[in-house]
């Protein structure tokens, strides 16, 4: 029987298994998790003939290298990067045939942060609460990839897409986040609220899958003390004591005690996943989310 698996030769800075996540468990303290750039993950799955909920690999900045133990079709998307098979250039954003034993190298991102790698059959690690996603906050799901790890693959679901290349959104040169105000905007001075939606911030290098941290003007409170811990949602813009906003991403805590000045639209968050440190960020106030 063919060994349907893929060996990790170079794990990269942070490569994790991700799918659509595990929504519906916030009452247990479990974040949704899942691919930060969900459209990119869905696209690479479609390119190799996988269902949209198949698990893929999410790389961070430096890519990864893999050696399949059986012939597979792969596709890389999200952050643009060089792709090679046994040292020969292969297309990014398109299906690529990789023979058994050949080295697939997904290189460092040319722009953006996260490249997604889909393999025919999907990554078939054990599901936890209905998802195969790695959750960096709670520790659920498989650990981040390490050199020498072997990942099982599922059976092919269907033929890969017959395309030469697929257009994908470029990583943002400026990140615009549309935010509904509140629920704790009244904890900030009027000047702080104006600053939040009128000044430019920049993506901090300190961000991760839990939250996108900002460098820029501090937002000052109109109240002292702390809130009782309350529920947090995807896209919540929480303001810790240093006054710099943090935009919660897929692995965010489900509760928190710092005030939330606004909530970003979920449709803006895939671009946030690809915003490199230093990217300018504007918060635009909207009503109704």
pLDDT score of 2: 60
Q: Encode pLDDT of 181-190 as tens digits.
A: 989 999 999 9
Q: What is the pLDDT of residues 138-176, one digit of tens each?
A: 899 999 999 999 999 999 987 877 776 677 888 999 999
pLDDT at residue 28 greater than cutoff 50: yes
Backbone angles phi, psi at 163, to 5 degrees: -135, 155
pLDDT at 67: 98
Q: Which residues pair with 227 in a beta bridge?
A: none
- Predicted pLDDT of residue 167: 78
Token pair 């109109």: residue: 222
Q: Which two tokens stand for residue 226?
A: 């702390």
Q: What is the pLDDT, as a whole number, of residue 169?
A: 85
Reported confidence tier of residue 109, pLDDT bands at 50, 70, 90: very high
Q: How far apart are the C-alpha atoms of 152 and 76, rounded to whole Å?
A: 19
What is the rounded average pLDDT of the residues 8-28? 95
Which sequence spans correspond to the domains of the chain?
Answer: 5-152, 175-285
Whether 1 shows a pLDDT value over 90: the answer reads no
**Which residues, including other chains, have CB under 8 Å from residue 235's CB and lie 6 or more apart?**
247, 248, 263, 264, 265, 266, 268, 269
**pTM for the predicted model, two decimal places:** 0.94
pLDDT of 79-91, one tens digit each?
Answer: 999 999 999 999 9
Intra-chain end-to-end CA distance of the chain, in Å = 52
Does 63 have pLDDT greater than 50? Answer: yes
Q: What is the pLDDT of residues 204-245, one digit of tens each?
A: 999 999 999 999 999 999 988 888 889 999 999 999 999 999
Task: Say if residue 193's pLDDT is above 60.
Answer: yes
The superfamily CATH assigns to domain 175-285 is Cyclophilin-like (2.40.100.10)
* pLDDT of 182: 84
Paired with 264 in beta bridges are 179
**Mean pLDDT, rounded, for 54-59:** 98
């Amino acid at each position: 029987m063919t060994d349907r698996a893929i060996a990790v030769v170079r794990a990269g800075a942070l490569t994790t298994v991700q799918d659509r996540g595990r929504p519906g468990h916030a009452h247990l303290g479990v974040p949704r998790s899942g691919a930060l750039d969900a459209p990119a993950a869905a696209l690479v799955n479609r390119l190799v003939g996988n269902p949209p909920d198949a698990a893929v690999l999410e790389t961070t900045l430096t890519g990864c290298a893999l050696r399949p133990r059986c012939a597979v079709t792969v596709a890389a998307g999200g952050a643009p990067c060089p792709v090679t098979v046994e040292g020969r250039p292969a297309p990014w954003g398109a299906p690529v045939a990789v023979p058994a034993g050949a080295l697939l190298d997904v290189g460092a991102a040319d722009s953006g942060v996260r490249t997604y790698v889909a393999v025919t059959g999907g990554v078939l690690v054990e599901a936890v609460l209905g998802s195969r996603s790695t959750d960096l906050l709670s520790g659920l799901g498989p650990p981040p990839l390490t050199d020498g790890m072997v990942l099982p693959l599922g059976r092919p679901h269907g033929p890969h897409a017959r395309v030469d290349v697929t257009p994908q959104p470029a990583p943002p040169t400026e990140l615009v986040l549309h935010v509904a105000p509140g629920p704790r905007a009244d904890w900030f001075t009027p000047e702080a609220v104006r600053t939040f939606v009128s000044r430019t911030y920049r993506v901090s290098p300190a961000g991760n899958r839990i939250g996108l941290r900002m460098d820029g003007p501090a937002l000052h409170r109109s109240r002292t003390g702390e809130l009782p811990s309350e529920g947090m949602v995807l896209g919540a813009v929480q303001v810790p004591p240093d006054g710099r906003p943090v935009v919660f991403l897929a692995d965010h805590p489900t509760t928190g005690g710092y005030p939330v000045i606004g909530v970003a639209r979920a449709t803006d968050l895939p671009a946030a996943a690809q915003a490199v440190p230093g990217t300018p960020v504007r918060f635009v106030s909207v009503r109704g989310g």
